Amino acid sequence: MKKTIFKGAATALITPFRDGRVDTAAFGAIIEEQLAAGIDALVVCGTSGEASTLDDNEHIGAIEFAVKTVNGRVPVIAGTGSNDTRHGLNLSKRAASVGADALLVCTPYYNKTSQNGLKTLYTMYADAVDVPIIMYNVPSRTGLNIEPQTYAYLADHPNICAIKEANGNFSKIAETFALVGDRLDIYSGNDDQTVPILSLGGKGVISVLSNVLPAETSKMCHLLFEGRTAESAAMQLKYVPLISALFSDVNPIPVKEAMYILGRSTPELRLPLVRMSAEKAAVLREELAKAGLNAIN
């Protein structure tokens, strides 16, 4: 059995911007708030971190900043996937060199590949670095699904350790659990499916919700691990309206707005992302208030 990277909730952190640049002061404050709340791990430069519009120096700089700020208190997982394999491998090597504890590698997008191509690709990533690889499956963004049989093949690689599963297909997810056994850890990639995936044996969630509710998202996971399934499920259901509001527009538009409302960052995004409509923002503001979160802006 491979070593588990983390158990519980990992926040898919936003990357705060100010005047077109990464706002390291805000980023550091967000990280410290997450740690104080008891988050189990942090993901830097994923989808929620707008990684696709960071240049390479910003990308690696954000990872290095997070690693230094966290200073070993929880694992720091770096997003390094790309549709350009050479670029992705370079990012992966650089992320490992600045201290990332694991890498989150999405499937290639636009120039999609076959299942055999995925086998070759993930093997190449895993051979190139000495930190664990989490495969990220999000077909709604990439147009490509990792099939259960492909996971089963890749599970034999000692450096491929986990899956962030966001395909939303529970039949496929259950099949994956059955095929990989304890050779791969599985994390939910969708906040609204955290408890169902944990109930199948998942190790946690890589979460957008935990940007605003880190303690609660972690607690939801750990209640289930402790056998308190009904309490965990009740938390999942309680936050369904807030989760819906956080995904009422393209991620990370709503969570960036939420963090602005809560006074933790500017609402600044990079094109092609733009701020959500006033109507959607009003609903988001209302759901944040219902969750006990006080608006600053």
Catalytic residues: 136, 164
Characterise 109 by phi-psi region: left (phi > 0), alpha (psi -120 to 50), beta (else).
beta
Helix, strand, coil in percent for the chain, rounding step 5: 50, 15, 35
Contacts of 48 (CB under 8 A, 6+ apart): 12, 13, 14, 208, 211, 251, 252, 255
- The phi and psi torsions of 246 (rounded to 5 degrees) equal -75, -10
The two structure tokens encoding residue 274: 């733009």
Contacts of 209 (CB under 8 A, 6+ apart): 191, 217, 239, 242, 243, 246
160-165 and 102-106 strand pairing: unpaired
What gap in Å lies between CA 235 and CA 169, rounded to an integer?
22
Other CB atoms within a 10 A radius of the CB of residue 64 amount to 19
- The phi and psi torsions of 52 (rounded to 5 degrees) equal -70, -15
Instruction: Identify the DSSP state of 213.
Output: -
Other CB atoms within a 10 A radius of the CB of residue 3 amount to 7
What gap in Å lies between CA 273 and CA 20, rounded to an integer?
13
Rounded to the nearest 10°, the torsion over CA 194, 13, 70, 27 is -150
Other CB atoms within a 10 A radius of the CB of residue 289 amount to 13
